[in-house]
Amino acid sequence: MSVPMTFLGLLERHPSHGYDLKRDYDVFFGRGKPLPFGQVYSTLSRLARDGKVVISEVEPGAGPDRKRYVITDLGATEVEQWLTQPVEPEPNLQSVLFSKVVLSLMLDRSAEDYLDLQRRAHLERMRELTAVKRAGGLVDLLLADHSLYHLEADLRWIEMTAARLDALKKAVRP
């Protein structure tokens, strides 16, 4: 997730204070992982430094002054480019899951036990996401579906790998 690009996109809708950007980010993009306030203001500071946002007005607040941020033409151009470029298809040919299986085999540890443990972790996460789908709105539903489809693919890989552990062990051990 690109926090700077997401902030620029949110600012293209309308000028906002940092607090409002954090709230919108957390509601739509930060499910389960809210953005720390420190990251909000450090990101806005970098965007201002790079000429992608400016401060339009400063209002006194209960604490520090409230700054309203506005996207610049440079920032709007960057959002346009970002929104029209495809995301790099994932996953790459590197995976922590794969690495742990291979290293378990190389080190003569139980890759089967590890795969069983990982399978249980995946199934537990899938139950959690299914509960999110039942309780949430459309945004939650779509985000949960995206994650569930990836977890299902991982589970298929876990099953296929478990069936091939003997052959894989021969391939990775001299």
Q: CA-to-CA distance for 163 and 154, rounded, in angstroms?
A: 14
Domain co-membership, 126 together with 157: yes
Domain co-membership, 51 together with 121: no
Domain co-membership, 69 together with 101: no
Can you give the pLDDT at residue 89? Answer: 75
156, part of any domain: yes
pLDDT digits (tens, 9 = 90+) for 124-173: 999 999 999 999 899 999 999 999 999 999 999 999 999 999 999 999 98
Domain co-membership, 72 together with 7: yes
91, part of any domain: no
At 128, is the secondary structure helix, strand, or coil?
helix
33, part of any domain: yes
Domain co-membership, 101 together with 147: yes
DSSP string, 56-125: EEEE--SSSPEEEEEE-HHHHHHHHHHHHSPPPPS--S--HHHHHHHHHHHTT--HHHHHHHHHHHHHHH
Domain co-membership, 9 together with 74: yes
CA nearest neighbour of 110 among 160, 171, 169? 169
168, part of any domain: yes
35, part of any domain: yes
Domain co-membership, 80 together with 8: yes
- Overall number of domains in the chain: 2
17, part of any domain: yes
Domain co-membership, 8 together with 78: yes
90, part of any domain: no
152, part of any domain: yes
Last residue in a domain, options 32, 55, 84: 84
pLDDT digits (tens, 9 = 90+) for 24-80: 999 888 877 889 999 999 999 999 999 999 998 877 767 677 889 999 999 999 999
Domain co-membership, 23 together with 66: yes
10 Å Cβ neighbour count for 101? 24
Domain co-membership, 162 together with 138: yes
What CATH number corresponds to the domain at position 30? 1.10.10.10
Cβ burial 103-137 (10 Å sphere, 16+ → b, else e): ebbeeeeebeebbeebeeebeeebeebeebeeeee
pLDDT digits (tens, 9 = 90+) for 67-124: 899 999 999 999 999 998 887 776 676 688 999 999 999 999 999 999 999 999 999 9
Domain co-membership, 8 together with 40: yes
Position 174 pLDDT exceeds 90: no
Do 4 and 48 meet the contact criterion of CB atoms below 8 Å apart? no
Q: Any residues with CB less than 8 A from the CB of 46 and at least 6 apart, and which?
A: 4
Residue 42's domain spans which residues? 3-84
Q: Any residues with CB less than 8 A from the CB of 168 and at least 6 apart, and which?
A: 101, 102, 105, 111, 161
